């Protein structure tokens, strides 16, 4: 009797896992068919990077945050800058449509090395690097590890110091075991993300509303794919060690650093990340505005104006004239 019950339970679990895997696979295929890659691919050591380019002039490299992809910038920021600059938005290794080699580290130094190779491959001459959220930490790592590749930093709601706790919106990514991460990614992660979408997005965007077209135009649906879950979880696992080292080096920065933060950001506190960086980085300037964490999507005109001002500071008179 007990053996039969155990066999039934095992069979039920296996059936549910198979159903979850099928649902995940079908969902991912439908999303990719509806939201295919927008740009082209560049192979660099450890990764194959998906980029979207627009415009000409001084170069801007736009880097997104945890769980996101370049659509956060193509939503409405890239087009506002392309008339005056060569704008390159990139999917970080493993995110969006970029891939990361199985043997490659998810740590910030490895991702910074990949972006350094991208800058070289595209022939960019010390671009202004724009980093949002985790992309801000990556931009800082790039500037410190590869100073010859970076002319300036424009950081939007950047992660600059290790938080005391993982924000609630990202708690589902805190799975230490790689094997368990793969199992969850292909069974539970996608349906759970769909069910929790309203709650999570309210945390990420709040107090500002989530645009109705974020799922499509903003690429939100792309985050439901198992590969994105695995990459984001690996990124999060690698952060503590990287941030501990990074925080000690901000005094070494020798490029202009501009920081934009929403005063009501529910993901990263502006004092612990914005002001704390401004206090350590030589000549860094912090701008506070009304708003939350997702400024590139909720406030594109303001975000683009901030980037133009940073570009004007870096590129001088030519950059200011180019902005009109």
pLDDT tens readout for residues 21-80: 777 878 888 999 989 999 999 999 999 999 999 999 999 999 999 999 999 999 999 999
Q: What mean pLDDT do residues 227-243 have? A: 93
For residue 36, count CB atoms less than 10 angstroms from its CB and return exposed for 0-12, middle for 13-18, buried for 19 or more.
exposed
Q: Under a CB-based contact definition with an 8 Å cutoff, are residues 234 and 47 in contact?
A: no
pLDDT tens readout for residues 274-302: 999 999 999 899 999 999 999 999 999 99
SS3 59: strand
C-alpha distances out from residue 48 to 28, 104, 113, Å? 20, 11, 13
d(CA 309, CA 305): 6
d(CA 275, CA 282): 13
Closest to 189 in 3D by CA, of 28, 71, 34, 13: 28
Superfamily designation of domain 35-164+239-323: Alpha/Beta hydrolase fold, catalytic domain (3.40.50.1820)
d(CA 26, CA 21): 9
Q: What mean pLDDT do residues 165-188 have? A: 87
d(CA 197, CA 218): 14
Q: What is the pTM of this model?
A: 0.91
d(CA 210, CA 276): 28
Q: Where are the domains of the chain?
A: 35-164+239-323
pLDDT at 5 over 50: no
């Amino acid at each position: 009797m007990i053996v039969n019950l155990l066999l039934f339970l095992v069979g039920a679990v296996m059936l549910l896992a198979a159903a979850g895997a099928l649902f995940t696979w079908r969902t991912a295929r439908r999303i990719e068919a509806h939201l295919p890659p927008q740009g082209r691919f560049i192979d660099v050591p450890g990764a194959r990077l998906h980029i979207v380019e627009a415009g000409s002039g001084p170069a801007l490299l736009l880097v997104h945050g945890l769980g996101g992809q370049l659509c956060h910038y193509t939503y409405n920021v890239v087009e506002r800058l392309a008339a005056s600059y060569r704008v390159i938005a990139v999917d970080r290794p493993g995110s969006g449509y970029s891939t990361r080699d199985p043997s490659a580290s998810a740590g910030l130094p490895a991702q910074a090395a990949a972006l350094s190779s991208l800058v070289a491959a595209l022939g960019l001459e010390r671009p202004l690097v724009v980093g949002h959220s985790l992309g801000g930490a990556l931009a800082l790592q790039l500037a410190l590890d590869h100073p010859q590749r970076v002319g300036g930093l424009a950081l939007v709601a950047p992660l600059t110091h290790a938080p005391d706790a993982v924000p609630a919106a990202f708690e589902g990514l805190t799975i230490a075991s790689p094997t368990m991460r793969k199992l969850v990614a292909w069974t539970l992660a996608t349906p759970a993300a769909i069910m929790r979408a309203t709650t999570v997005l309210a945390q990420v965007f709040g107090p500002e509303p989530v645009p109705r077209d974020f799922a499509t135009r903003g690429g939100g649906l792309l985050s439901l794919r198992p590969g994105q879950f695995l990459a984001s979880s690996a990124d999060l696992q690698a952060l503590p060690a990287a941030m501990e080292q990074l925080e000690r080096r901000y005094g070494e920065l020798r490029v202009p650093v501009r920081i934009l933060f929403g005063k009501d950001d529910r993901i990263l506190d502006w004092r612990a990340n914005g002001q704390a960086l401004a206090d350590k980085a030589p000549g860094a300037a912090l701008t506070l505005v009304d708003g939350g964490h997702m400024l590139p999507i909720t406030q594109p005109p303001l975000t683009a104006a901030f980037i133009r001002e940073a570009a004007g500071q870096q590129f001088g008179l030519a950059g200011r004239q180019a902005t009109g």
